[in-house]
Amino acid sequence: MNNGLGFIGLQSSGVGIATVDGAGSIWNNNGALRVGSSGQGTLNITGGGVVNVGTDSSVNSVSAVYVGSGGSEFNTVGSLTNAGLIDIAAGGVVKASVVNNSGRVHNNGLIEGNFNNLAGGTLSGSGTILGDLNLSGILAVGNSPGTMTVMGNVNWNDGTTFELELSDATGTAGSDPGWDLLLADGVMDLSGVSAGGIAILLTSLDLANIPGMAVNFNGNSDYHWIFATADGGITGFDSSLFTIDSTNFWNSLNGMFAVSMGGDSLFLDYTTNALPEPSNTVPEPASLAIWSIMGLGAVAMRRRSKRSKTTRGGAEPAS
């Protein structure tokens, strides 16, 4: 199908639904596409269907675009502006010169283009972004614990919330069970962030990925969890840029959380307040022998001292 300017849900009271389904099904929209212009719109691209937009696309706050698996594609030559929902399944592709998100984008597939996660926006999922990621709003890596990959730079800004989920304190970064991990192929830049500008929202999950007690966590032990890494390095780091909200961490705590940097990675550290256990080490036999010799020497010195005092006093030793 081919047309010029496209609308799904044009009128304020209107509800529109468009579905492009199946390999070989293509909708070429040569002008702009408005999903929910004044009304509510839904665009379903499934089974390998393709939608091509000649200029720019937008999704309003009550509308949604679903890009399914099997090579389904939503391609926009210009910018894609989202205030509603864009859901990309594994194997689905969204292409745009830039995505400006103030709604929710759940990406388990591939986004080709730069991505601006604006204030009020949420980016989630275990997919890949082929471009730079500019962060404000909420970043919710993975589907419960998981990995998000950025094949470009990641620029952090004030107002960013990193939702970090942890189900196993001794598990694997970016895996389930384990905790969330953000991977960047380029540089991770924190130079534009002021003190307290990034919030780490820490949530513990049980092994069913339901909020609850994380396994293998002991509040009297220390932990060092990697949650972000950048092949191109990290610039502008300072631990004061981060605040940690552990309200949703269900395990008992006896310490404090902080963010640190090591090499090209960021870590969430937990440091316990517990004192080290007293040592119950038994001295080696050689040490015991030394102490015994020292003790005998001290006794002998005391005896010589007493005999010396007796002689100086004029008393004769007993026969």
pLDDT per residue of the chain (319 residues) written in tens, 0 to 9: 777 789 999 988 889 999 999 999 999 999 999 999 899 999 999 999 999 999 999 999 999 999 999 999 999 999 999 999 999 999 999 999 999 999 999 999 999 999 999 999 999 999 999 999 999 999 999 999 999 999 999 999 999 999 999 999 999 999 999 999 999 999 999 999 999 999 999 999 999 999 999 999 999 999 999 999 999 999 999 999 999 999 999 999 999 999 999 999 999 999 999 877 666 655 555 444 444 444 444 434 444 444 443 333 333 333 3
Q: What is the model's pLDDT at position 297?
A: 46
Picking from 132, 236, 135, the residue whose alpha carbon sits closest to that of residue 191 is 236
Q: What is the model's pLDDT at position 278?
A: 65
Residues 6+ positions from 169 with CB-CB distance below 8 Å: 214, 215, 216, 217, 218, 223, 225
Q: Are 12 and 39 in contact (CB under 8 A)?
A: yes
SS3 209: coil
DSSP state of 84: S
What predicted TM-score, i.e. pTM, was given to this entire model? Answer: 0.86
- Helices and strands counted in the chain (H then E): 1, 32
Q: Could you give the CA distance from residue 269 to residue 202 in angstroms, rounded to a whole number? A: 12
Q: Where are the domains of the chain?
A: 1-131, 137-277
Q: What is the dihedral of CA 26, 28, 32, 36, to 10 degrees?
A: -30
